[in-house]
Chain A
């Protein structure tokens, strides 16, 4: 690397390209990570506004702001955008891209061009989904699960939505393959497996899930397309198919996909807590093993989504038992995070506040998951708002909190500037209060029997629905404070130092923002004994 290049950061080093070309033609993992971030944030806001529309409709029984068909489309598109565009790619694509190579002492990912191609596939997938909203037939209304036989019988615009999800899946597979190869091949000398930062471990586990599970949903979505246009008869009983087969195939992917969402979130928390407790993580080996255990056991629990769809009692028992098994490694992690905080010299900064919020919300989500994993209670609360509340506590409270924790933790490194900590704390508090006011009543409503996916409800549910919608407004206000503060911080914040949090992993040893190829020289860790986390 030339001396000039070493002094420029990756924003300044455009490799001779100008304007937008410096971004969309760049194979630099950091620029690709940021391109994912900008895309994801835009769609996150769209998804949030759709979610707010759903809650506004539910503020009172009967038709409030939209009719049933519009409501069906709102929650379908909310689900498709949030799951396929934001939550699944979110942490790996943004922070995995930006920080994985730096954390393991590499200059880039193993296949930089493939990495850029994955981003293009991601964009093409999004455009294809968007086409389904605005062309003939109107937006799809099947729910984000595209359940058969509705997905091949509905008159709405299913084909582009399914095809879009298929293309997004391909992007995910290629990103997973890239990260796995990067971790196997590009670790700096001395960066042994058991010295690797826990975020890198979580990206590794996630990569394998992406590689093995995502093709299944790809093939399933292709089967829907074949069913719809060629009348092949995979899922339609009238053609000799089996609709339950679709549910099995869908959940064989989509349950592991929950771990694609949550494992990197756990990785982020495993980075933040030791940094701000100012001690090494408690039980590094146990956290690593539990990461891989979640990745593996997560493949064998899919049918707990289908306890009421029709399966044998033996199958129900086995899947219920396996579901309880998968809770064990998650509990181990929570124990280790809390144990790390114990007697630590805690520095209460914004990223740690987010991480603590994660612990609280994730635990509520996790414990309510046990109600759903047990067959008897699942039958009672199946298809009610209890499921919606549980899912949002895990995914939004868990992955979402970790996402914002990661943004607040790494933003000074990414942009070399610090956000306003006061407003960041105000934003968190507003979000946290709004989140619980929004979702907690849904547990009670679900337990009382309010079905999900209806634009209307009985009068007896009115009170708690008003509370829930009020919570939605508070939470959205918090989200806007957080995002505006981060944007302002990234553009006009105070200059951040190289290591503002006194972190011990490799990304804190390079300038903020990092130079084009991260390191002047590949770091040699052969003499360092401790793992960096």
Chain B
């Protein structure tokens, strides 16, 4: 019985491994995710298309602590929650957007045009309850070469799947000199966390962060990625079965007499 269970467990592990082998990647170079490039300075050659349709160097727009927000506007997944959270942060922060800091949202989908960006901007600016200077939160696009350069600078790795993207959820904070000082991961950002990141960026201080509950925008295809045996289920059943056996033995097997003599 015991050997069968061991075989079953190994089979479960192996089957899981087999189902994923086509997508295996080296650990230090993830296909999707963030490779941190703290202290990197933005290249002046990276151009973006601003809300007026003009193409300008991204670095020229950065003259105060800046949150860089990489999304694609058609995203059905985590891009909207990230921008919702930013709108909430803008509301709650006692710093003034446009004066003390700014947000630059850039699409990493070269197929998206600036009219879509402007439309999105209206949505998110409307979400902010307090009066703000709209110039403090700019929505932009870029061409594919500039997107690739920008994403390489930030270490933002994404992958095109069909019409959509698999991508991580994060914001990056730059100093007024264009130095990358902080990554904040996830889709929800605490106002004080953002404020601290902006204050450090203002001083040009960079630092690693512990809170790396990195969230990804991804889809799960139940047809193509079905597990033959699920490790967690097999393990759970094994644990419960062994526990049950212990209980039954202790309750049903009679006590030996004189066991302590």
Contact = CB atoms under 8 A, between A and B. Distances in A.
A454 interface: yes
Interface string B230-256: 011001100110110010001100011
Contacts of B220: 240, 242
B20 A239 contact: yes
Contacts, number: 140
Contact of B246 (A211, A243, A455): A211
B20 A232 contact: yes
B207 A68 contact: yes
B195 interface: yes
Contact of B210 (A72, A107, A228): A72
B32 A237 contact: yes
A152 B232 contact: no
B192 A449 contact: yes
Interface stretch (A116-124, A178-186, A342-350): A178-186
Given A107-B260, A177-B246, A237-B218, A453 B211 contact: yes
B80 to A, nearest CB: 14
Interface string A57-68: 000001000011
A75 B213 CA distance: 17
Interface stretch (A140-148, A417-425, A473-481): A140-148
A239 B187 CA distance: 21
A215 B23 contact: no
B16 interface: yes
B200 A456 contact: yes
Contact of B199 (A72, A242, A458): A458
A185 B239 contact: no
Contacts of A409: none
Contacts of A215: 235, 239, 242
B180 to A, nearest CB: 15
Interface in B184-225: 187-188, 190-193, 195-196, 199-200, 205, 207-216, 218, 220, 225
A449 B193 CA distance: 8
Contacts of B87: none
Interface string A274-315: 000000000000000000000000000000000011100000
Of B31, B33, B187, B239, most buried by chain A (CB within 10 Å of CB) is B239
Interface of A: 62, 67-69, 72, 75, 106-107, 141-143, 147, 149-150, 152-153, 155, 177, 180-181, 184-186, 208, 211-212, 215-216, 219, 223, 226, 228, 230-234, 236-243, 245, 247, 249, 308-310, 382-384, 448-451, 453-458, 522
Given A68-B207, A75-B210, A233-B23, 8 more contacts: A153-B30, A153-B33, A186-B260, A230-B17, A238-B166, A382-B190, A454-B196, A455-B207
22 contacts: A68-B207, A149-B33, A152-B27, A185-B256, A186-B260, A212-B243, A219-B235, A231-B25, A231-B27, A237-B166, A237-B218, A238-B32, A238-B216, A240-B19, A240-B225, A310-B187, A383-B190, A449-B190, A451-B193, A451-B196, A454-B210, A458-B196
